[in-house]
Structure 1
């Protein structure tokens, strides 16, 4: 900082310049007792880390290869569940049963058909899209949540906006 010069000259103060306060001799030893500032970069103080929780949920991530395959529509789902025409209660039960069967069979990718959400330019209010809106909560609270590796939007050849891929973990 000693070699740095300001780009613009600082404006001269308009009022009288205050002189620095003179330290009385009695206060001088108190200032000398302060430890000197360390030179260079000082790391921030370490904060205590909380112990990891026992039942910590796994992150909802896949490696890049899976994401590329899903994005291109190369992955063929092992099984599918169609929730068209179901009420919220029956769709939830069907999803739970379908996940249980897929996990028991050892399926890796499950196609979940929920139906397309209502168009935003639609003028009248819709009751559509309730199942699609509830899917994330259902999967997070499911008894099979630890078996789910990721949930991704489906490729147009598998339903596009009206479907989801549920990628299950290997055993």
Structure 2
């Protein structure tokens, strides 16, 4: 590497005049003489600037594809209500004390009709004639026997065993019988249980 040449006397005097007339931009220090410039090769490297580390944002866990949909609660199977259960949930439209005695089997029916073994086509007119006749005679409590049928029987309603047990309460709550029937309740076991119904009739002057 070639050695750097120094300044001559004339160059030093010229630099001194220039330096005296120069105004420093920062601070009050005087311009340094060119001879005092450090060799660029010998100057120390600047200190590295410490850059604060940036913490990367926390990655959100990816959703589990197998659980992307909300789980539905398991539903339990509720078998349909029997005619006796349906009637038990119906509102009481008669004297509560009399109704309690009726359910306990402590009231004796004044007349009875046995529909057991009849088809629906034959049983419906027989039921209508019986109920209207009893109401006209001033009777209040009658018993209608339908039979229990067999549990778990299926098939068309007109021919299914136990069809009368399901249909008779509907007929009693439909015109023309609904106008004279006040309450229908499953009979006590001493009068046939779920294979028969107590039918409590309105008074003759209280037809609705």
TM over 0.5: yes
Residue of structure 2 aligned with 1:71, choices 99, 103, 107: 103
The answer for the alignment partner of 2:119 in structure 1 is 87
Q: What does the per-residue CA deviation read over 1:44-100, in whole Å, with 9 as the maximum and x for residues that have no partner?
A: xxxxxxxxxxxxxxx762222122111211100010010012110110010011012
List aligned pairs for 1:92-131, cutoff 5 A. 92-120=124-152, 125=154, 127-131=160-164
Q: How many residues align?
A: 110
Rg larger for: 2
Alpha carbons 2:145, 2:197 under 8 Å: kept: yes
- Over 3 Å counting, the alpha-carbon distance change for 1:108 and 1:67 in structure 2 is same
Q: SS of the counterpart of 2:173? A: helix
**Distance in 2 between residues matched to 1:85 and 1:117, nearest whole Å:** 10
TM-score under structure 2 length normalisation: 0.49
The answer for the alignment partner of 1:145 in structure 2 is 178
Unpaired runs of 5+ residues, structure 2, are 1-90
**Does 2:194 match 1:161?**
yes
- Over 3 Å counting, the alpha-carbon distance change for 1:125 and 1:141 in structure 2 is closer
Alpha carbons 2:135, 2:203 under 8 Å: kept: no
The Cα shift of 1:148 comes to 0.8
Alpha carbons 1:80, 1:111 under 8 Å: kept: yes
**Distance in 2 between residues matched to 1:143 and 1:81, nearest whole Å:** 18
- Over 3 Å counting, the alpha-carbon distance change for 1:136 and 1:125 in structure 2 is closer
Q: Please, what is the CA RMSD of the aligned residues?
A: 1.7
